[in-house]
Amino acid sequence: MCGIVGYLGDKPCIPLIYDGLTKLEYRGYDSAGIAVAQEGRVALAKSEGKLERLKSHLKDLPASATMGIGHTRWATHGAPNTINSHPHSAGDFAIVHNGIIENYLELKEELEAEGIKFYTETDSEVAMQYLRAQYNKLGSLEEAIKKSVKVFRGSYAIGILDPKQNNFLYVIKHGSPVVIGIGDNECFFASDAPAIVAHTQKAIFLNDGEFARISKDNIKVWDFDGKASAFRIAELSWSSEAADKQGYRHFMLKEMHEQPVVIQKAIARLIDVHTGDFNEAALGIDQINLEGIKNINIIGCGSAYHAGQIAKYFLEPLLGLPVTVELASEFRYRDPYIRDTTLTLAISQSGETLDTLTAVKFCLENKSQVLALCNVEYSSIVRAATSTCYMHAGPEIGVASTKAFTLQVFCLYAVGLAIAKKIGRLKDNDLKAILNDLRVFPNMIEQALAGKEAIELVAQKFYETTNFLFVGRGLHAPVASEGALKLKEISYVFAEAYAGGELKHGPIALVDKKMAVLAIVPSDFYFEKMVSNVEEIKAREGRIVVVGDNASPRLRNLSEAFIHCPQIATPALQAILTTVPLQLFAYFMALKRGTDVDQPRNLAKSVTVE
Ligand code: M6R
């Protein structure tokens, strides 16, 4: 939540910082600001609302400035208005902050007692004033940082602009991500790589408990005790084009359309579809000791959790081991039974979700090996985990997860197959049939996407409906949850998901002619049972949308709309296929309702607060 950017070099910094912020807007978008140095003072431009609104204020800044910091905000403390937006400055010093300073009230009281006045409701202004007070007392910014980080509680990434120092910017990391980009006689810092990849592929990822002083041609990193830290310069693989819309109206639309290609690439990377060999290094299982593993523990949040729920359906029979799936936000606050005989699969697109990261740390402390399934390179979960299976989806900018979700399910399946083969549980004939399906699978995702015009017409019929139930059985029960989540988050339509068999245990009481029900009815083992559920809904006058491959007269008669989805024999792959029309449905519902598809209200892509 919140994106921070800093630049120091020979070029005018304002356009570069603004451009970096556009690439981080998915982290927060309720207000934004930029600060630069001007004649030993801080010049500030801030605005509430989307980044776009900041543009008209940038003319107030000195255009020739070559050093500055910027911020795009997802409000935690204090309303999302101009005064509370970052950078926070006392005129001679400015900071941008991503995270939460939990003990800010205590610190504020202390500072107020010293006569310092506050103008905002934010914890970030307190962090700024605390750092500044230490700086004034100690006369050195590095000493002030060391002192302050001993006192700050919470998680934070803080970028500091001190106009008295023309050659340096500072950045501190504790719990929130920071990447430093090294360019040609210029240097950047940012919350995430998309903000810098247009300028450099060379990056340093700070560890928790480190701060850095960056200049045009030199980086120094220290730990919080002031001891110099060694760092590694990583080569980023993301390109700048990957973080652009490339002609699509929305990032979400572009990312849905990337699914056939990213899945095709994942197949090529992870499985040899001719020999049935698995790339154990790319799957991350070469680093995992499978001996003695007695159970699988899957953790994640939001869509990642749904991917885990789907995986439970195929992993248990594949591996012959009990699989539990839990929301990381619940897991981390209880006392779960985790031992060295547990293999944990931690799923996270960003690799920065604080709940998942904390759960990962708990598992490691309790001797469980952790295999991370992540998209963002060198992210915190990747660095904490025993080993990683990278999804390589490229940047996912739309707040609603699409390609990352389907890749999560796919990677979980590939991991499951590879382990099953390794432990001798995968029969040759079964593998052969799966490999056959994998060969045609990317093309079938294309076919599912090709149904978009028909899906748009369904959305046209239903976009004024304000209540939806999503139902499915087997793997399609969590697919229904994912479909409902997509609809909720981008179209603001209330949507709840139930396993088909659960309807009669309560939710069917909600069904009347105003209730819309989206039923996932592929031609699988549950087909007849799902058709019965649809009959029950129809009998209570619910409005029915069916997603399936079998447009039989019976189903057509029962439903007001039928969304066709191609059929594939392998259930795990079918779950991915069936997700695609649900993504499109949510997208078109949002379009018709006029909501902000890529940046829905109240949300941020990367949830780095509790
Ligand atoms: O980066 P992560 O995969 O850890 O994020 C987890 C959730 O915040 C994320 O999936 C969220 O639910 C998406 N907005 C869903 O579309």
Residue 371 in tokens? 């295999």
| Ligand 1 pocket: which of 191, 325, 331, 350 to mutate (most atoms within 8 A of CB) | 350
Q: Using most ligand atoms within 8 A of CB, pick from 192, 330, 353 the residue to mutate for ligand 1.
A: 353
The mean pLDDT value for 386-411 works out to: 96
Work out the angle at residue 565's Cα, subtended by the Cα atoms of residues 564 and 570, and round it to the nearest 5 degrees.
150
Pair of tokens at residue 220: 């120094």
User: Which 3 state secondary structure label does DSSP give 405?
Assistant: helix
Which has the closest alpha carbon to 346: 319, 318, 375, 314? 375
Q: Which atom of ligand 1 is nearest to the CA of 399?
A: 14
Residue 211 near residue 173, CB atoms below 8 Å = yes
Mapping DSSP to helix (H, G, I), strand (E, B) and coil, where does residue 404 land? helix
C-beta of residue 173 within 8 angstroms of C-beta of residue 210: yes
pLDDT per position as a tens digit, 51-75: 889 999 999 999 999 999 999 988 7
Of 78-87, 166-175, 285-294, 323-332, give the lowest mean pLDDT range.
78-87
Longest dimension (CA), the chain: 80
User: Separation of 302 CA from ligand 1 center, angstroms?
Assistant: 5
Pocket of ligand 1 (CB under 6 A): 301-304, 348-350, 353, 356, 399-401, 485, 489, 606-607
Q: Residue 535: CB partners within 8 Å, gap ≥ 6? A: 558
Cβ pair 362, 388 in contact under 8 A: no
- Tell me the pTM: 0.86
Q: Is the pLDDT of residue 76 over 90?
A: no
* Mean confidence (pLDDT) of the chain: 94
Residue owning the nearest CA to atom 9 of ligand 1: 302
Site of tokens 């949850």: 481
Taking CA atoms only, the protein residue closest to ligand 1 atom 12 is: 302
* Distance from the alpha carbon of residue 401 to the mean position of ligand 1, in angstroms: 6
Contact yes or no for 300/350 (Cβ under 8 A)? no
Query: Ligand 1 centroid to 572 CA: how many Å?
Result: 20
Query: Tokens representing 503?
Result: 């309807």
Q: Whose CA is nearest to atom 14 of ligand 1?
A: 400
Interatomic CA distance for residues 432 and 380, integer angstroms: 37
pLDDT digits (tens, 9 = 90+) for 13-38: 999 999 999 988 888 788 999 999 98
Mean pLDDT of 566-584: 98
> Do 379 and 350 touch, CB atoms closer than 8 A?
yes
How is residue 322 written in tokens?
């009990």
SS3 143: helix
DSSP-based three-state secondary structure for 170: strand
* Residue 420 contacts residue 245 (beta carbons within 8 Å): no
Residue 340 has pLDDT above 70, yes or no: yes
* Helix, strand, or coil (residue 473): coil
> Parallel, antiparallel, or unpaired: how do β-strands 154-161 and 94-101 relate?
antiparallel
Please enumerate in sequence order all residues whose Cβ is within 8 A of that of 464, keeping only pairs 6 or more positions apart, or say none.
Answer: none
DSSP of 335-346: -----TTEEEEE
Question: Which residues are tagged catalytic?
Answer: 2, 605
**236 pLDDT above the threshold of 90:** no
Q: Is the pLDDT of residue 604 over 80?
A: no
pLDDT at 194 over 80: yes
Q: What are the tokens at 388? A: 């990683």
**What pairs with residue 88 in β-bridges?**
95
Among 29, 405, 602, 607, the mutation site with the greatest number of ligand 1 atoms within 8 A of its Cβ is 607
Taking the CA of residue 405 as reference, the ligand 1 atom at the shortest distance is 10
Averaged pLDDT for residues 473-494:
97
Point out the ligand 1 atom lying closest to the alpha carbon of residue 603: 14
Q: Do 380 and 355 meet the contact criterion of CB atoms below 8 Å apart? A: no
Q: What is the pLDDT of residue 121?
A: 86
pLDDT reading at 239 higher than 90 = no
Q: Can you tell me which atom of ligand 1 is nearest the CA of 356?
A: 4
Model confidence at 602: pLDDT above 90: no
For residue 534, give the H/E element and its range: helix 527-539
Please tell me the distance between residue 573's alpha carbon and the centre of ligand 1 in angstroms.
21
Instruction: Examine the pLDDT at 238 and tell me if it is beyond 80.
Output: no
CA of 28 to the centre of ligand 1 (A): 14
Instruction: Give residue 14 CA to ligand 1 midpoint distance, Å.
Output: 31
81 — pLDDT class (breaks 50, 70, 90):
confident
What integer pLDDT is reported at residue 241 of this predicted model?
67
CA dihedral 526, 531, 535, 537 (to 10 degrees): 60
Return the percentage of the chain with pLDDT > 90, whole number: 85
Residue 597: pLDDT over 80: yes
**CB 506: neighbour CB atoms within 10 A?**
9
Q: Comparing 137 with 39, which gets the higher pLDDT?
A: 137
* Confidence at residue 240, expressed as pLDDT on a 0 to 100 scale: 67
Tokens of residue 139, six digits:
């006369």
The residue whose two tokens read 């007695």 is 294
Q: What is the mean pLDDT of residues 470-498?
A: 97
Looking at ligand 1, which atom is closest to the CA of residue 402?
16
Q: 59: which 2 tokens?
A: 């003319």
Residue 418: name the closest of 281, 294, 311 by CA: 281
The separation between CA 53 and the C-alpha centre of its own chain, rounded to angstroms, equals 25
Cβ(285)–Cβ(386) under 8 Å?
A: no
pLDDT of residue 25: 83
Dihedral pair phi/psi, residue 557, rounded to 5°: -65, -35
Which residues have a Cβ under 8 Å from the Cβ of 59 and sit 6 or more positions away?
A: none
